Homo-oligomer: A and B are copies of this chain.
Amino acid sequence: MSTPNGAKLGDTSEPVDFWCAFKRVHEVLRTRVIADAAEAAGLSEPDLTILASLSRAGGALRQSELAAALGWDRTRISHQLTRMAKRALVTRERTGGAAVTVTLTADGRAAVTAVRPLLDAAVRRHFTDRLSAREIETLRSVFDRM
């Protein structure tokens, strides 16, 4: 192992293996959690991400604020909102300049209210219940740093 940091990962594994393991865990957990929670309410993962962010903000946000809060590209937000507006989960209206404010509809609010306890339960069952308190502490500290 010629690089200075290689030893941290052990002599038999490369960083790319650590990366693949991380990707695999994310994929498995995502599939299980969404299957348990979102599908029961007829919501996809991106639906849920948008609705949760709007709900946390009180029900309305500008698209650029939504993009910043989620770390999403502007076009990704735009496409997703177009699909969600078609299903009456949100409404959009210009609010000064080129800015657009997104607002939860009654349907959207009902959907996020219904799915939240399911999502909490799914995350517990598939993820946090399988971790010790010390592991959760470590993960949270790592998440906050990234």
Contacts and interface: CB of A to CB of B under 8 A. Distances in A.
Contacts of A143: 18, 21-22, 24-25
A19 B119 contact: yes
Contacts of A24: 70-71, 143
A135 B136 contact: no
A19 B33 contact: yes
A142 B61 CA distance: 36
A8 interface: yes
Interface string A106-146: 00000000001001100110011111011110111111111
Main secondary structure of the interface of A (DSSP, over half): helix
B127 A19 contact: yes
Interface stretch (A9-17, A77-85, A91-99): A9-17
Given A16-B116, A18-B127, A138-B138, 19 more contacts: A5-B128, A8-B131, A15-B119, A15-B120, A15-B127, A16-B119, A16-B120, A18-B139, A19-B119, A20-B49, A21-B140, A22-B127, A22-B143, A23-B26, A23-B49, A24-B70, A25-B142, A28-B146, A139-B139
7 contacts: A8-B128, A16-B116, A16-B119, A16-B120, A18-B123, A24-B71, A135-B138
Interface of A: 3, 5, 8-9, 14-16, 18-30, 33, 49, 52, 70-71, 116, 119-120, 123-124, 127-131, 133-136, 138-146
